[in-house]
Amino acid sequence: MKDRYESPFSARYSSEYMQKLFSQDTRYKTWRLLWVSLARAEKKLGLPITDGQIAELEAQVENINYDCVSAREKEVRHDVMAHVYAYGKAAPSAAGIIHLGATSCYVTDNADLIVYRDALLYIRKELLSVTAALAAFAERYKATPTLGYTHYQPAQPVTVGKRAALWAQDFVSDIEELDFVLENLRFLGCRGTTGTEASFLELFDGDADRIDRMNAIIANDFGFDRCFDVCGQTYPRKTDSRIMNLLSSIAQSCYKTATDIRLLQHDRQLEEPFGDAQIGSSAMAYKRNPIRCERVCSLARYLIADASNAAMTASAQWLERTLDDSANRRVSIPEGFLCADAILRLTLGIVGDLRVNEKIVDRAVRGYMPFIATENLLMEAVKRGGDRQELHGIIRKCSMEAIGKMKDGGECDLLSRLAAEPAFGMSAREMETILDPGLYTGRCAEQTEAFLRKIKPLIKDAETDFEKIEI
């Protein structure tokens, strides 16, 4: 409805997959699947639950009467119990055994962990796609000289591909961190009101082994191989903080890449994709603003800031639990995932079709080559019998004079100034022979090739058909 607020992540930025994954339907159907799994495990371990009851629960997983839920929640002011009530209405023979021995966090927390796990797996695919696109770009331009910058001032040449390899390396670091988070992600299980499992000791007549088996069965049903060793009523909120820190790290990588492209687009060395019918400005028809990169940076700032929510929540959980985490988590974590998804989709669209204006790149680097080459020129002049200290002074004096002329709008005439110095002993033509930018990029191409060989096994199965945001 257009007369109600709608999150921009749903309206403009995030993928259909991620929107569906964090939808209310997915959340509440997962709750019901968790109740089914609990009932199955309890029956298997000897509690008086029938196959018919389980079959009825299974048949009604997707039949959620939201009107019934809403009406019941207004009455009891408890969302989980409202859903238990509605599920019991849909599966009346099983109404008495739904949620047996459990507390609300059994469904809320475990469902979150399932959704977060699936979201991380999807984010990983997007990260691989971005990395693969950057790797292809780096391979293509691994030996293309370009002006390097330190402090955003001209410095020694690098290559276009080496710079892309630096970006890709950040994303590889994010993939490694994501794999660590996934590897250490655990299930809450069904642990009772304060994590003591006291209700299940009662149900299973004090048999602790059956409780452990029940939790292992439920965890396995949802693809987890272990539960937290100890917990309160909730799973430790440090898990959320770890996840959000990862998403922040991804945002940082995207921000860095997009910012570098924005800086280079200022001089038209690189350009993000620009549609044939795209309008850059409502007033200045000639404009080609880097709006995709700007959008990446804008959203990345939001995600980096959003990560602090999880840190504050983890630090503020009193004893076995407090409920001041709930409303915050309900907003901050889904929005964080949707934002990461949006940023990666934007970044993939940018780097997958990034344009290099090679003549402008070449002109920029050659414009500074006389200054960049002065050390080599110094060495050559010394080899011809010159005095190193005297020559250094000549280069400094001539460089300052040439820069002064350039500041007044003139051309760089450093070589002709050096050639006019008798002590230098070289003609301008002789100096020009060592001004090839490719002679000054060091091991850039070799470093890029080595990096690409290293990450090849990681990105070999990267998908290329992810939905991209069209501008």
Residues designated as active site: 151, 281
Q: Compute the C-alpha angle 210/216/222, nearest 5°.
A: 140
For every residue of 117-168, DSSP letters joined together read HHHHHHHHHHHHHHHHHHHHHHHHTTT-EEEEEETTEEEEEEEHHHHHHHHH
Q: Which residues contact 139 (CB under 8 A, 6 or more apart)?
A: 161, 448, 452
First to last CA, the chain: 23
Q: What phi and psi, each to the nearest 5 degrees, are found at residue 270?
A: -120, 155
- Give residue for tokens 């630096």: 166
Query: Left if phi > 0, otherwise alpha if psi is -120 to 50, otherwise beta: which for 47?
Result: beta
Q: Which alpha helices (H) appear in 267-325, and where do they start and end?
A: 291-315
SS3 270: strand
Beta pairing class for 355-356 and 145-150: unpaired
Q: What does the DSSP 8-state code read for residue 9?
A: I
Give the count of alpha carbons within 13 A of 246, CB side only.
Answer: 29
Compute the distance between CA of residue 413 and CA of residue 367 in angstroms, rounded to an integer.
Answer: 11
Q: Which DSSP helix (H) or strand (E) runs through 271? A: strand 270-271
Compute the distance between CA of residue 217 and CA of residue 294 in angstroms, rounded to an integer.
Answer: 47
How would you label 215-229 residue by residue, b for 16+ Cβ within 10 Å and e otherwise?
bbbbbebbebeebbe
Please tell me the chain's helix, strand, coil percentages from 3-state DSSP, rounded to the nearest 5.
65, 5, 30
Residue of 116, 106, 114 lying closest to 223 (CA atoms): 114
Residue of 111, 46, 319 lying closest to 195 (CA atoms): 319
